[in-house]
Chain A
Amino acid sequence: MVRLLVSRGQESSNLLQKEYMCFTNNGVLSLGLPPAWVDVSEDIAANVERARVKMAELAKAYAKALMPSFGDGKEVQRLIEGLSLEITDLIRRSEKKLMRLSAAGPSEDSNVRKNVQRSLATDLQTLSMELRKKQSTYLKRLRQQKECQDGVDLEMNLGGSRSQMEDDDFGGMGFSEHQMARLKKSEALSAEREREIQQVVKTSYQFHFSTKSHALSFMNSYFLSFLQVAQSVNELAQIMKDLSVLVIDQGTIVDRIDYNIQNVATTVDNGLKQLQKAERTQKKGGMVMCATVLVIMCFIMLVLLVIKEILL
């Protein structure tokens, strides 16, 4: 149960509210401009929203592409390609911007920034995961369809190049945390490979085109889409890795509200302590220096005095 006592902007016959309103005097509310990073965060949020809309479109396009049709399906293919590129691009751009949000120092503002960053990172992560899930299911369905409809002579060509790519680029590649690093290294390699494969595909595409076989071009478009999905999986994996540093794991101590408050308090405390220490050492250093100089001067003067006494 809840009891509402006072609320502005709402007509109420509540006695307490009337009393409350009587007590408050009219004053002018001064509103300051929010800091610049708020714009950045809004930008990212808008990007995420846009990517969500695109994602819905992509899902529709996938469904359409999976529908059996006797056209070459190139238009749908192009649409899918364009959409996934756009989404990946949006995610990548947002991620870059996100890195700009981070701030140093234990002040409240930087805390807010850190939290904003975290929440946006979580959004981005779920988004990219969603995209990946969609892509992989699409890929799986595509495979299934292909296996059903495969032409015999075609299998040689395409199957060969496909398995080559798998074996060379990703075969035997464990994807545990330390092997993530290997992914990066092999990325350059795989990009090169992909180019090669694309060339192979192009030539074979031309060949198929000349035979004007519907089935062949159908297969080809599948292969192209496969390649393109593979590429974006790669990209997303990278983004995911960067984001996972920011995202809070649920059920851990980091996810506790009081832990976060304590942490802030201790960092602030530590900062203060450091400052005090610095001040102390600084003060001490100055004093000691001053005293030493004075003592040395005293000695010099004394010596001078003695010399003067002796000589004169």
Chain B
Amino acid sequence: MVLVSAARDYINRMLQDISGMKVLVLDSQTVSVVSVAYTQSELLKKEVFLVELIDSISKSKESMSHLKAIYFLRPTSENIQYVRRQLASPRFGEYHLFFSNILKDTQIHILADSDEQEVVQQVQEFYADFIAVDPFHFTLNIPSNHMYMLPAVVDPPQLQQFCDCAVDGISAVFLALKRRPVVRYQRTSDIAKRIAHEVSKLMYQQESGLFDFRRTEVSPLLLIVDRRDDPVTPLLNQWTYQAMVHELMGIQDNKADLRSFGKIPKDQQEIVLSSEQDAFFKANMHENFGDIGINIKRMVDEFQQLARSNQNIQTIEDMAKFVDNYPEYRKMHGNVSKHVTLVTEMSRIVEERKLMMVSETEQELACNGGQVAAFEAVTNLLNNENVSDMDRLRLVMLYALRYEKESPVQLMQLFNKLAAQSPKYKPGLVQFLLKQAGVDKRTGDLFGNRDLLNIARNMARGLKGVENVYTQHQPLLFQTMESIIKGRLRDVDYPSVGNHFQQGRPQEVIIFIVGGTTYEESRSVALQNATNAGIRFILGGSVILNSRRFLKDLEEAQRIARTSSSVV
């Protein structure tokens, strides 16, 4: 049950039975789905010679009847309209329609109505409606992600859209895995509850025939939680490779964009970071920054050796051997320069923004107690000229989340200081965060200071000392996974929907975070899966967050909440 192979399998089946030259037509969502799972050269091997977006394919009128069209689309009414128009005056020889989710009967009727020339060969549902970035991590890339923070009374139509997207994505994952899960959700979150109920309704009532798979002994578990239960993780600076790249540069569909950084050679401006295609990245995506440096050094050495052996060619055999190895050599060359560029650029940013210093304080705030020292450290960093505005904001947010109740006076001091130091700071953003994700709203024990047991455990860890100051933080998800493994997830906090209860320990658990996942959590899940063979976890979310995205969502939600409350 690995998501990437499920998606690849779907695409393979789409392409293999249709012979001859093909054109693949996608929409903006399925482009990402296909791109992370498949490559251009693989498509070429399957005789797909043109890939186009649905809106641009309908602009041209040029007839290409020697091509067979394969449409892979989400079943939205917009896409159906595009297909309808296309079928009225077909440009291609044959049409094979694949939809990434459950198609409504009315939509099929519309398609049938418009297929007057009988060019449609087949219509199928292939449930690849999720973007499988890593084997155990998927995202839905929902565009208006900030919606989840708004209360239901504020903006119903767009919120409904957000819910529908999430429900579609989750149900597609389970259809692809051929499972019907038991659904549980975080009690304190309205949006998690709403999505959980809608998913459950779809799986057990509306489409119960579709979801009626061969029973497994124990049904898998779907746990829907809210991002606001752990607002700390997306606010921290990251020091493991994949997470760090996303934090400092941003990864979109396994692709890092370096165009804004200047002085990057043209072929390195966009970089593919896929654990499926890049062995070095696969081995190092969860390593910390220091180890990456050492490993890259080793890779460069290896490469130099290879390059040197290519330099001295004495016999014709050497020459033949070189020509054989040449593609390998080129591939390695590209890979080496890619990772070297990335790491160089990242260490420049770390140096420029003084991230070592900032991150140390962040980790202190997230993991250890000591309010007085923390206050001092945050104040010092606020005064430091080199610290960027965003880092200041994050520090104050972390302090506020941690010492919300203990020290309101000092918190006010920090707010004032922040407003004075950072001109771009929107007043009230930290307060908005506290209102959204304050201690009263949270279910999980985020800082490990609620019950005595956790406090004791925390202290024990403090005595033992930590290996690396910068990566000592464990996301809340880690605790959640542990309690699932031990079967200690409390029914009061995480109730099930309907009367479908878990019997025994689940073998497969899918955790969906409304509001977005982080790569730190993805790492946590991957490490968990590597150690424990008993239970397999899959992580999914509405988007993949870094702190920039999280703050942007927060700002957006605050803006909407304020305008709507002023209207009311």
Contacts and interface: CB of A to CB of B under 8 A. Distances in A.
Contacts of A255: 39-41, 272, 277
Interface string B311-324: 11111111111111
B343 interface: no
A24 B112 contact: yes
A35 B66 contact: yes
A230 interface: yes
A118 B44 contact: yes
B40 A175 contact: no
Interface stretch (A15-23, A79-87, A89-97, A282-290): A15-23
A29 B117 contact: yes
A256 B66 contact: no
A251 B273 CA distance: 9
A8 B316 contact: no
A2 B122 CA distance: 13
A160 interface: no
Interface stretch (B49-57, B395-403, B425-433): B49-57
A209 interface: no
Contacts of B330: 244, 249
A176 interface: yes
Contact of B175 (A1, A38, A115, A254): A1
30 contacts: A2-B125, A7-B124, A16-B108, A22-B112, A23-B109, A24-B115, A26-B118, A31-B93, A108-B60, A112-B23, A119-B45, A129-B323, A132-B323, A174-B310, A174-B312, A175-B323, A240-B323, A240-B326, A247-B327, A248-B44, A249-B331, A250-B331, A251-B277, A253-B270, A254-B40, A255-B41, A256-B35, A257-B31, A257-B38, A258-B32
A257 B327 contact: no
Interface string A63-103: 00000000000000000000000000000000000000000
Interface in B101-125: 103, 105, 108-109, 111-113, 115-125
A7 B123 CA distance: 6
B277 A250 contact: yes
A135 interface: yes
Nearest to B174: A1
10 residue pairs, one from A and one from B, having the closest CB atoms: A34-B66, A23-B112, A119-B44, A6-B123, A115-B49, A27-B117, A136-B320, A258-B35, A3-B125, A7-B122
Instruction: Name which of A3, A252, A256 has the most chain B CB atoms within 10 A of its CB.
Output: A252
B278 interface: yes
B63 interface: yes
B116 A172 contact: no
A158 interface: no
A225 interface: no
B558 to A, nearest CB: 32
Contacts, number: 228
A125 B113 CA distance: 47
A112 B40 contact: no
Contacts of A4: 122, 124
A136 B321 contact: yes
A29 B95 CA distance: 12
B476 interface: no
B470 interface: no
Interface in A105-164: 107-109, 111-112, 115-116, 118-119, 122, 125, 129, 132-133, 135-136, 139-140
B206 interface: no
Instruction: Name which of B125, B210, B278, B320 has the most chain A CB atoms within 10 A of its CB.
Output: B320
A97 to B, nearest CB: 17
Contacts of A207: none
Nearest to B255: A256
Nearest to B23: A112
A86 B127 CA distance: 48
Given A24-B112, A115-B50, A233-B319, A129 B324 contact: yes
Instruction: Name which of A9, A20, A172 has the most chain B CB atoms within 10 A of its CB.
Output: A20
Given A23-B112, A240-B326, A261-B52, A248 B40 contact: yes
B39 A257 contact: yes
A88 B317 CA distance: 19
A37 to B, nearest CB: 10
B335 interface: yes
Contacts of A268: 56
B334 interface: yes
B278 A251 contact: yes
B406 interface: no
A27 B118 contact: yes
B40 A257 contact: yes
B74 to A, nearest CB: 15
A248 B175 CA distance: 34
A257 B60 CA distance: 21
A109 B21 CA distance: 12
A154 to B, nearest CB: 20
Given A6-B120, A257-B40, A109 B64 contact: yes
Contacts of A309: none
Contacts of A32: 63, 65-66
Given A32-B65, A118-B44, A140-B317, 5 more contacts: A24-B115, A108-B50, A136-B320, A250-B41, A258-B31
A1 B45 contact: no
A260 interface: yes
Contacts of A299: none
A203 B43 CA distance: 55
B216 to A, nearest CB: 14
Given A253-B271, A258-B32, A236 B323 contact: yes
Contacts of A248: 40-41, 44
Contacts of A116: 21, 49
B178 interface: yes
Contact of B44 (A21, A33, A115, A175): A115
A5 interface: yes
Instruction: Name which of A25, A38, A170, A253 has the most chain B CB atoms within 10 A of its CB.
Output: A253
A173 interface: yes
Contact of B118 (A8, A16, A252): A8
A265 interface: yes
B314 to A, nearest CB: 6
B112 A19 contact: yes
Contacts of B52: 108, 261, 264
Instruction: Name which of B53, B176, B271, B307 has the most chain A CB atoms within 10 A of its CB.
Output: B53
Contact of A261 (B31, B47, B118): B31
B39 A139 contact: no
B228 to A, nearest CB: 31
